[in-house]
Amino acid sequence: MRNRAARHSLSWLPPAVYVGAVLPAAVLAFDAFSGLLGADPIKRATHQTGQLAIVLLLLSLGCTPLRLLTGWTWPARVRKALGLTAFFYALLHFGIYLFDQNVMLLSVGEDIAKRPFITVGFLSLVLLLPLAWTSTPQSVRRLGFAGWTRLHRLVYVSAALAALHYWWGVKQDRTMPTLLALGLLLLFAVRFVLRPRKKQATPPASLS
């Protein structure tokens, strides 16, 4: 069958996305060990992992709208890889932040509670936890498709908080945060317009 053949021929795609998405982390690690990250390597690493996390998260959110707009099926097959690697970078981003605070847990807790900029970033990461946890087919079965879908809508909240975190984090130049926020809004809009509607029993008479 054509469908099955197409599915089979694209089996390389998700692994390729994993490799491609993790590659920047390898480059970052290489640069870090070779002293190529400039005068403030920790800040550079924090920024790069944060940017990668939010870009990958946005790409994962783009999969379904792209599928709905084009009818292609491959975007749905890379969504999980994009989402999980976004989570990987968010964790890395948070880990570097913890390291940077000398793991002074008291000051980290204070930072998260006191500074909205940190609070929303932390919340964004926390919301990704259950999604990463339930990213297996077994979880879909256990939760039921409807329940799983409902749970995974949290990704919108997480992405919005990540965009806000990015917006608040920059000193003056808001080009990148603005582009990302616009991208996010566009994806929301596409989803809203293309959302599955309840089937109408009879089409309006004027159209028939």
The 7-46 site mask, x for binding other proteins (CB under 8 A), equals -------------------------------xxx-xx---
Q: How many CB atoms lie within 10 A of CB 205?
A: 6
- Sign of the CA dihedral running 51, 127, 196, 143: positive
Question: Which residue, 14 or 95, has its beta carbon nearer to other proteins?
Answer: 95
Contact between 103 and other proteins by CB under 8 A: the answer reads no
Stretch that binds other proteins, among 16-24, 65-73, 108-116, 147-155 (CB under 8 A): 108-116
Please, what is the minimum distance in Å from the beta carbon of residue 52 to other proteins?
18
> Measured between alpha carbons, how far is 158 from 48 in angstroms, rounded to an integer?
19
> Measured between alpha carbons, how far is 151 from 173 in angstroms, rounded to an integer?
35
The answer to whether the beta carbons of residues 139 and 148 sit under 8 Å apart is yes
Residue (of 207, 203, 194, 180) closest to 64 by Cα position = 194
Contact between 102 and other proteins by CB under 8 A: the answer reads yes
Contact between 113 and other proteins by CB under 8 A: the answer reads no
Contact between 141 and other proteins by CB under 8 A: the answer reads no
Torsion angle, alpha carbons of 188, 193, 194, 197, to 10: 120
DSSP state, residue 102: T
Can you tell me which of 115, 141, 142, 150 binds other proteins, judged by CB under 8 A? 115
Question: Which residue, 37 or 154, has its beta carbon nearer to other proteins?
Answer: 37
Please, what is the minimum distance in Å from the beta carbon of residue 156 to other proteins?
24
Residues that bind other proteins (CB under 8 A): 38-40, 42-43, 100-102, 107, 111, 115-117, 168-169, 171-173
